[in-house]
Amino acid sequence: MISGLAALTVVLILVALAIYRSEPKETDPNVQAQVAARLAPAGAVYAGNTGRAAMQAAADAAAKAAASQVAYGGTTDGKEIYGQLCHSCHTAGVAGAPKLGDKAMWAPRIAEGLDTLIKHATDGYHGPDGNFMPPKGGNPALTDAQVKAAVTWIVDQAK
């Protein structure tokens, strides 16, 4: 009885090994990139004109990458930011947004002061009459300088 069970155990082990070997192995598509990142040098040595050109190219690439993390290429042109983002609510008056150039709607807001308007645009605002302004107009990639430029431009249109 014991030898029969031992033989059955050996057969089951051999079947399991055969199945294991026939199954495809899982592959991680990121393995090659991870290995390359581990093997990449931590720094680089630049010398002469070639080195200066390589350093400039690296600086330009870093600046481009940083600008891509900021909305609209980092522009602080209020009109452009309005055209890209703010117009969607401030043209039609969505969620109680005062329409661009509507002096009657903007007058009480302008009376609160530009700093208050910038704070409401940056941090968001939910008014007592149900109007709503999402923080940074719903685009968290905007910088504070961009929000200030857009608010200033919009306010200038209502004066």
Burial class of residue 144 in the structure, from the number of CB atoms within 10 Å of its CB (0-12 exposed, 13-18 middle, 19+ buried): exposed
pLDDT tens profile 105-149: 888 888 999 999 899 889 988 888 778 888 988 888 888 888 999
Structure tokens at 22: 């026939």
Average pLDDT, the chain: 85
Q: Tokens 């070639």 identify what position?
A: 50
Q: Tokens 């969505």 identify what position?
A: 94
Which CATH fold would you assign to the domain 76-158?
Answer: Cytochrome Bc1 Complex; Chain D, domain 2 (1.10.760)
Neighbours of 46 (CB within 10 A): 14
Q: What's the confidence (pLDDT) of residue 68?
A: 63
Secondary element (H or E) of residue 150:
helix 144-158
